[in-house]
Amino acid sequence: MKKIILASLAASLLVAQAAYGATCPAAKFSAFFPKFADSVAVQKAYTDYPLAHVLLDHEARPEPREIRVKVEKAKLTFPLIPPATERKRAKLALRIDEASDTNAKATLFNAERGYKKEYYFRKDACWKLERIEDRSM
């Protein structure tokens, strides 16, 4: 009986790995996020498609309004988060705002320029980017 249970667990693990293309880079978001931020390959593998994207329409009156779209993988421009060298050059800061066992949020920003992008993640078998909200002014 134990052999059957172990075989079943092993098979489930292989199916989960195949679904994600590899093992999860890290179980904790604090360890996963730096790998995601600095690798286009990790970004492509651990993003939900189509990716939910929220933008602000600054032309809307009397106040900006949200525009919600779903973007297919083929139409996304990678990297979704600029590499560290580009972030430094553009004076962009990257921080983890929230992280629970199943949800997390990180923000890329430059307060002086009004630049702000929020990245929302969900964890099932591994962390996956599920939405980007561009809150830039």
For 82, the token pair is 């600029």
Tens of pLDDT along 62-98?
A: 988 999 999 999 999 999 999 999 999 999 999 999 9
Question: Which CATH number applies to 22-134?
Answer: 3.10.450.410
Percent of the chain with pLDDT over 70: 84
CA distance 98 to 123: 13
DSSP bridge partners of 71: 51
Q: Please state the domain extents for the chain.
A: 22-134
Q: How many CB atoms lie within 10 A of CB 81?
A: 23
Question: Using one digit for the tens of pLDDT, what is the confidence trace for 5-20?
Answer: 333 433 333 334 444 4
Q: Cis (ω within 30 of 0) for the bond into 82?
A: no
Reported confidence tier of residue 124, pLDDT bands at 50, 70, 90: very high
Q: How far apart are CA 137 and CA 130, in angstroms?
A: 22
SS3 of 39-87: the string is: CHHHHHHCEEEEEEEEEEECCCCCCCEEEEEEECHHHCCCCCCCCHHHH
Average pLDDT score, the chain: 87
Contact 31, 21 (CB under 8 A): no
pLDDT of residue 20: 42
What was the pLDDT predicted at 22? Answer: 65
- What pLDDT shows up at residue 60? 84
79 CB-near residues (< 8 Å, 6+ apart): 40, 43
